[in-house]
Amino acid sequence: MAEKAAWDFVEKLPADEKFELVCINPGLVLGPNLNGGNFSSGDIISQFLLGKMPGLPHSQIQIVDVRDVAQAHLNAINLPEAAGNRFMLVEGSYWFKDLSTWLVESHGSDYPKIPKKLLGKWLINIGALFMEDAKFAKAVWGKTPTFDNSKTKELLQIPFRDMKTGVQEMATALIDNGYVKDQRKNKPEVEKKEEEK
């Protein structure tokens, strides 16, 4: 609705007041964060790390690295051919199980509560009676969405970063920035030096 309002606004402007518009529509934005404040994608990955999810829904989410989102905004300004276009910013569609596997690989020894088992659909069906998140999970259960990001790659010149690396780097950044309590047995050298002071 917000995007449609933007296109309608520009369309209705007098010719001498019109300006170029580019719309960028990202999926769930993941990747290393710089802040320690609350944000939805940080909440999702922290719930994985801390085992606050009862299990994994058999659902896929469309994700993109935050650095690709930033680059897309710069390219939208700097590339003349981007004007007047809308771009889907999604690197890929991944199962919740994929995210769990990546996080277990990089952080599982320090965060053993990362969920690894799929939720039963019966549990989602019951939860959907009371919770919006469960209603959404029920609607997309087992479905594989399709999309085409070739326009973003070609016209906006975004090659897209590997999301496995992006998710793992996000988990590290959440810990480094204090968003998730540091349970690492082997803390980075920088932290050790600070602790010695």
pLDDT at 139: 82
Question: Please, which residues have CB within 8 angstroms of residue 24's CB and are 6 or more apart in sequence?
Answer: 69, 72, 73, 76, 86, 87, 89
Distance CA 12, CA 34 (A): 39
pLDDT for position 190: 56
pLDDT in tens, the chain (197 residues): 999 999 999 999 999 999 999 999 999 999 999 877 788 899 999 999 999 988 899 999 999 999 999 999 999 999 999 999 999 999 999 999 999 999 999 999 999 999 999 988 888 788 878 888 778 878 888 888 888 999 999 999 999 999 999 999 999 999 999 999 999 888 777 554 555 55
Q: Is the dihedral of CA 100, 103, 40, 156 positive or negative?
A: negative
- Cα 2 to Cα 8: distance, rounded to the nearest angstrom: 10
pLDDT digits (tens, 9 = 90+) for 35-65: 777 888 999 999 999 999 888 999 999 999 9
Q: What is the pTM of this model?
A: 0.86
Q: What are the pLDDT digits (tens) for 91-107?
A: 999 999 999 999 999 99
Vertex 174: Cα angle to 177 and 166 (nearest 5): 130
The domains located in the chain, with CATH, are: 20-175 (3.40.50.720)
CA angle 93-38-101, nearest 5°?
A: 35
